[in-house]
Amino acid sequence: MSKGDETRQRIVQEAAGIFNRKGYEGSSLADLMEATGLRKGGIYRHFSGKEQLALEAFEYAWGAARDARLHDVDFNAGAIPQLKQVIANFVERRGPVPGGCPLLNTAIDSDDGNDALRERVRKAVSDWKKRMSGILRAGMKKDELRAGTDADAIATLIIASLEGGLMLARLDKNLTALRVVQAHLEQLLDSLAAD
Amino acid sequence: MSKGDETRQRIVQEAAGIFNRKGYEGSSLADLMEATGLRKGGIYRHFSGKEQLALEAFEYAWGAARDARLHDVDFNAGAIPQLKQVIANFVERRGPVPGGCPLLNTAIDSDDGNDALRERVRKAVSDWKKRMSGILRAGMKKDELRAGTDADAIATLIIASLEGGLMLARLDKNLTALRVVQAHLEQLLDSLAAD
Amino acid sequence: MSKGDETRQRIVQEAAGIFNRKGYEGSSLADLMEATGLRKGGIYRHFSGKEQLALEAFEYAWGAARDARLHDVDFNAGAIPQLKQVIANFVERRGPVPGGCPLLNTAIDSDDGNDALRERVRKAVSDWKKRMSGILRAGMKKDELRAGTDADAIATLIIASLEGGLMLARLDKNLTALRVVQAHLEQLLDSLAAD
Amino acid sequence: MSKGDETRQRIVQEAAGIFNRKGYEGSSLADLMEATGLRKGGIYRHFSGKEQLALEAFEYAWGAARDARLHDVDFNAGAIPQLKQVIANFVERRGPVPGGCPLLNTAIDSDDGNDALRERVRKAVSDWKKRMSGILRAGMKKDELRAGTDADAIATLIIASLEGGLMLARLDKNLTALRVVQAHLEQLLDSLAAD
DNA sequence: ACAGTCGGGACACCCCGTTTGT
DNA sequence: ACAAACGGGGTGTCCCGACTGT
């Protein structure tokens, strides 16, 4: 990897944390300059502008968050343990990008304008949902889960309550709300088990 | 109400929508000038600065959102119908302030810095939670709900999944995710009914 | 005069000196900020950009230079004394704008591109030439000067040799070259006197 | 001449035209890259920086201008025809370096700062003046010119009025002003002839 | 001998939030 | 309530000179 690519990668990583914490408007090039040790010229060498950088930073942040959530999932056998692992990862596992869930942050932040970013968030949510509904459908195929389970609805429910719980947890600066959500979702998953 | 107070009120209302849609950093005085038809001086006559205006705008936005969610709640008899009404209001009823839930938006937006605003959000969430756990506790007292129901946890769960569902719904620009959440919460509430 | 106009005037005056000394490309907003004590916002409040400011600065600089050259001219009787006064003013009288003759400086500086500025210089030269040829023609009318004198040519000659002499004088940092030109032009003027 | 030296020479030639037209600040390495077809590395191989290149470019430009002005001078017999030839060359003969007289341009351009360049211009003017005053003094020695003629003053006068005339001619994009100066100088020279 | 890459630095222009006069 | 004024900071652009290959 060339020196330029390393620099570029470093910029993206730092930018991911900054954009995730402060939002697009709230983040300035000066913040990025301080974080990377580069000057404006050094940054603009690698990116055409703030927007492109924000897009790549989101890709990175979401990739890291997704990896954290899927950590060890395949070590579990069965749909229900796998989803419980996802939920536990969401609650416990901090990804390398500070500031909470990039999905939630960027969805709210890009709610007005910034369509390119918004489209990327939409796709990320869609992929995550598919990943979980896929686990559910595989479980149904293997008769681990009751037939007739609405995989999409369950996936939506998991995402919605986790993200909402995260918002509350960050507000209170403790994990209580997330643990409440976690307990509820685990109970819900158990209730889906085939007899 | 004096003319000055009317103007002040108009500013707050317009500001509420703008801040709720664009966030604190993303909103400019120019936006407010355009929306109110006033000049900067006219705005600064009533508020000491952007921060104070943002605080009052949040108060207004949250007040309106809370009113919308509690609409007709007292016309319902029993804890479960009342909470179902709250949920239905959340899903269907648009408040006068555009841009989604001020709680969610402001919680994410004030996540970095802006402690005064953050504190106000925290209090608003706390009040809303208390309002709903109060309904639950009253239901338990009247033996409508099973004894041993964790009122705080249920309230937290409702808020978390509604807010998360709203985020998803706004992202997709349709209510599907919210309706999934609504159906699930209604089922949950029904399961709490005393035998 | 309002405070804003005073500020604007101060900016133009300072800018005139800076542009006259360093040229358009060589002058930066930072130079102007330092000279005026204003920040960028304070300057851009009054001018749409560097180009407009340069135009107004040239107007000011040329106005001051022209006034200095025409100083006391009308106190002299007769075309020849009047033109000698112009020449003496050119040689001796420093205008309030440092950096030499704005005509010469700006003509050279705007030689490549910058058509708006160039056009203003052309007009300034044309006006100055007309002013002097007018004096000559008036002198001919009053029979102070020989009939058949080519007023335009004489005016051109005066301007060319003074400006060229000024260039040499500034290069040597002494007035020798200008005094040589002055002596020659005075002799030339005397030779035009009607018998 | 080696290939490297040819490249170096080509860079200097192109640079001479660019610096002469646009000035030191107004010329960019990108301009030089475009003109030479070389990349930055190719230029920096031969020169330590922009300043050194500007110095050499001036040397080249002035050398070419001086050669053009002295063209065929030695074919003329006598001081007066020789100087008339110089003047005619100045008016008519375009050197290979576009943008007007390097002396005038660089004198104005280096008026603020850039002492190294300024010193070179001073020397060039001094040499040119000496060349012409030398012709004059030789003419006096041969009794072609009146004794008592101030050779330095005449040379200064020629240079000043030619350079000033050139400035006016370039401004008007026609040679009128220069021809006026030429006619006057020729008359002046004729008036110096010994009886 | 030259090309391409890289990053520090400065610059122009713009806009924002705030203060001041009126 | 407005208008003008101003300090400050933001983004995007360009340029120069050094460095890395080849």
In this predicted structure, the answer to whether residue D1 has a pLDDT above a threshold of 70 is: no
Residue C45 pLDDT grade (very low, low, confident, very high; cuts 50, 70, 90):
confident
pLDDT at site C68? 97
Out of B21, B113, B168, closest to residue A160 by CB:
B168
- What's the rounded mean pLDDT across residues D39-45? 84
Tokens at D57, concatenated: 């470019």
Residue B6 pLDDT grade (very low, low, confident, very high; cuts 50, 70, 90):
confident
Taking CB atoms and an 8 Å cutoff, what residues of chain D touch C171? 107, 118, 121-122, 125
pLDDT at site D125? 98
Task: Kindly determine whether residue C108 and residue D104, on different chains, have CB atoms separated by under 8 Å.
Answer: yes
pLDDT at site C124? 98
B130 in A contact zone (CB under 8 Å): no
Share above pLDDT 70 across residues of chain B, in percent, rounded to a whole number: 98
The candidate with the shortest Cα–Cα distance to C171, out of D21, D114, B120, A25, is: D114
Selection from A2-16, C42-56, C169-183 with the highest mean pLDDT? C169-183
Taking CB atoms and an 8 Å cutoff, what residues of chain A touch B165? 156, 160, 164
In this predicted structure, the answer to whether residue D87 has a pLDDT above a threshold of 70 is: yes
pLDDT, tens digit (0-9, with 9 covering 90-100), for A12-51: 999 999 999 999 999 999 999 999 999 999 999 999 899 9
Round to whole Å and give the CA distance between A6 and A26. 26
Round to whole Å and give the CA distance between B136 and B157. 13
- What's the rounded mean pLDDT across residues C137-145? 96
Round to whole Å and give the CA distance between B148 and D190. 123
Residues 25-44 of B, Cβ under 7 A from nucleic strand F: 37-42, 44
- Compute the mean pLDDT over every residue in chain A, rounded to the nearest whole number: 95
Work out the minimum CA distance from D122 to partner chain C, whole angstroms: 6
Q: Higher-confidence residue: D156 or C29?
A: D156
DSSP state, D145?
B
Residue C41 pLDDT grade (very low, low, confident, very high; cuts 50, 70, 90):
confident
In this predicted structure, the answer to whether residue B1 has a pLDDT above a threshold of 70 is: no
Task: Kindly determine whether residue C121 and residue D163, on different chains, have CB atoms separated by under 8 Å.
Answer: no
The candidate with the shortest Cα–Cα distance to D139, out of D76, D87, D183, D69, is: D76
DSSP for B167-189 reads HHHHHHTSSHHHHHHHHHHHHHH
Q: Which residue has the tokens 């005064």?
A: B116
pLDDT at site D47? 87
Q: Higher-confidence residue: B194 or C130?
A: C130
Residue C113 pLDDT grade (very low, low, confident, very high; cuts 50, 70, 90):
confident
In this predicted structure, the answer to whether residue B3 has a pLDDT above a threshold of 80 is: no
Work out the minimum CA distance from B55 to partner chain A, whole angstroms: 17
Share above pLDDT 90 across residues of chain B, in percent, rounded to a whole number: 93
pLDDT at site A1? 61
- Compute the mean pLDDT over every residue in chain C, rounded to the nearest whole number: 93
Task: Kindly determine whether residue C25 and residue D23, on different chains, have CB atoms separated by under 8 Å.
Answer: yes
C44 touches strand F (CB under 7 A): yes
D21 in C contact zone (CB under 8 Å): yes
pLDDT at site C38? 86
Contact B84, B52 (CB under 8 A): no
Amino acid code (one letter) for D97: V
Contact A57, A19 (CB under 8 A): yes
pLDDT at site B114? 87
Q: How far is CA C51 from CA A131, B41, C19, C64, D108, in A?
A: 58, 31, 11, 20, 20
Where does chain B have alpha helices with state H? 3-26, 29-36, 40-44, 50-69, 79-92, 102-109, 115-141, 151-172, 176-191
C45 touches strand F (CB under 7 A): yes
pLDDT, tens digit (0-9, with 9 covering 90-100), for D150-178: 999 999 999 999 999 999 999 999 999 99
Out of B125, B157, B176, closest to residue A184 by CB:
B157
Q: Report chain E positions within 7 A of protein CB atoms.
A: 1-21
pLDDT, tens digit (0-9, with 9 covering 90-100), for B181-190: 999 999 999 9
In this predicted structure, the answer to whether residue C26 has a pLDDT above a threshold of 90 is: no
pLDDT at site D2? 59
pLDDT, tens digit (0-9, with 9 covering 90-100), for C69-93: 999 999 999 999 999 999 999 999 9
Nucleotide lying nearest to D30, CA to C1' measure: F15
pLDDT at site D45? 84
pLDDT, tens digit (0-9, with 9 covering 90-100), for B40-87: 999 999 999 999 999 999 999 999 999 999 999 999 999 999 999 999
Contact A136, A149 (CB under 8 A): yes
- What's the rounded mean pLDDT across residues B132-152? 97
A111, A130, A174, A176: best to mutate for the B interface, most B CBs within 10 A: A111
In this predicted structure, the answer to whether residue D42 has a pLDDT above a threshold of 90 is: no
pLDDT at site D3? 63
D20, D112, D181: best to mutate for the C interface, most C CBs within 10 A: D112
- Compute the mean pLDDT over every residue in chain D, rounded to the nearest whole number: 93
In this predicted structure, the answer to whether residue C1 has a pLDDT above a threshold of 60 is: no
pLDDT, tens digit (0-9, with 9 covering 90-100), for A106-144: 999 999 888 999 999 999 999 999 999 999 999 999 999
In this predicted structure, the answer to whether residue A2 has a pLDDT above a threshold of 80 is: no
Chain A touches chain B, with at least 3 Cβ pairs below 8 Å, answer: yes
pLDDT at site C112? 80
B156 in A contact zone (CB under 8 Å): yes
Residue D94 pLDDT grade (very low, low, confident, very high; cuts 50, 70, 90):
confident
